[in-house]
Amino acid sequence: MKIIMLGAPGAGKGTQAKMIADKYSIPHISTGDIFRANIKNGTELGKEAKKYMDQGQLVPDELTVKILLDRVAQDDCKNGYVLDGFPRTIPQAEVLTDALNKLGEKIDYAVNVDVPDENIINRMGGRRACVTCGATYHVVYIPTKVEGICDRCGSALILRDDDKPETVKKRLDVYHAQTQPLIDYYTAAGVLRSVDGTQDMKDVFNDIVKILG
């Protein structure tokens, strides 16, 4: 089962992708995680990706397509996978569709987690990240045991630049301009399914499970 998660930044699609991956025993593949690992390790790709992410812009196609296609070709993806953060644009979707067609494969579901912009700006402003181990929390939804301290490793938490309200607004503008057309693309392909992302995350997940069967 090959699944794409769609939705604006902060809609909760990453959380849902992890839950889907656990339930169906398929890999959760997040381009965000790949980029953050490169940023943390100070690679050239990481440095370049960080410039775009800090400004609330999308990382260009050429930095994402090759690494993604290599990843889905690995053995652990033979029973399917959940893509989180890719594709972000119509050209990326077309590259993915073409690559899968050559393998005699296709995307089974594109799940759109639908959340209004105002909710997202409020939600992301509460996110906190650990600079050491990369764990993420939320001051309301996933609080730490000690405020401002990572449960996993005890390091200080930060509000990432790309979670600040002014950056989130930019990211949403970019999303609506470049990524929203994917909803039409996957609707035309007959695989789009939408869920109400403003619900409790367990209710969102239950709705997704009903779709996937």
User: Could you report the per-residue pLDDT of 116-143, keeping only the tens digit for each?
Assistant: 999 999 888 899 999 999 899 999 889 9
Task: Determine which of 4-18, 51-65, 130-144, 197-211 has the lowest per-residue pLDDT on average.
Answer: 51-65
Residue 42 forms part of a structural domain? yes
Please tell me the distance from the alpha carbon of residue 120 to that of residue 162, in angstroms, as a whole number.
13
- 162 pLDDT tier (thresholds 50, 70, 90): confident
Q: Which of 2, 36, 128, 171 is an active site residue? A: 171
Q: Which of 2, 123, 127, 128 is an active site residue? A: 127
In a shared domain, residues 20 and 60 = yes
In a shared domain, residues 130 and 77 = no
Q: Which of 2, 50, 88, 128 is an active site residue? A: 88
Pairing of strands 28-30, 81-84: parallel
- 189 pLDDT tier (thresholds 50, 70, 90): very high
Please tell me the distance from the alpha carbon of residue 109 to that of residue 212, in angstroms, as a whole number.
8
- Supply the pLDDT for residue 179: 82
Phi, psi of 158 (to 5 degrees): -130, 160
> For tokens 């759109």, what's the residue?
112
- Supply the pLDDT for residue 64: 80
In a shared domain, residues 156 and 89 = no
Residue 121 forms part of a structural domain? no
Q: 101, 103, 98: which is closest to 78 by C-alpha?
A: 103
Q: In whole angstroms, how large is the CA radius of gyration of the chain?
A: 17
Residue 145 has pLDDT above 90, yes or no: yes
Residue 103 has pLDDT above 90, yes or no: no
Q: Which of 160, 164, 170, 193 is an active site residue? A: 160
Mean pLDDT in residue range 199-209: 96
Q: Which of 2, 13, 36, 50 is an active site residue? A: 13
152 carries an active-site annotation: no
In a shared domain, residues 66 and 40 = yes
Please tell me the distance from the alpha carbon of residue 136 to that of residue 36, in angstroms, as a whole number.
12
> For tokens 């470049």, what's the residue?
178
The mean pLDDT of the chain is 90
88 carries an active-site annotation: yes
Domain that holds residue 103: 2-116+166-212
Please tell me the distance from the alpha carbon of residue 200 to that of residue 108, in angstroms, as a whole number.
25
| Residue 70 vs residue 103, higher pLDDT | 103
128 carries an active-site annotation: no
Crossing angle for the helix pair 117-124 and 165-174, nearest 10 degrees?
140
In a shared domain, residues 158 and 178 = no
Its pTM stands at 0.74
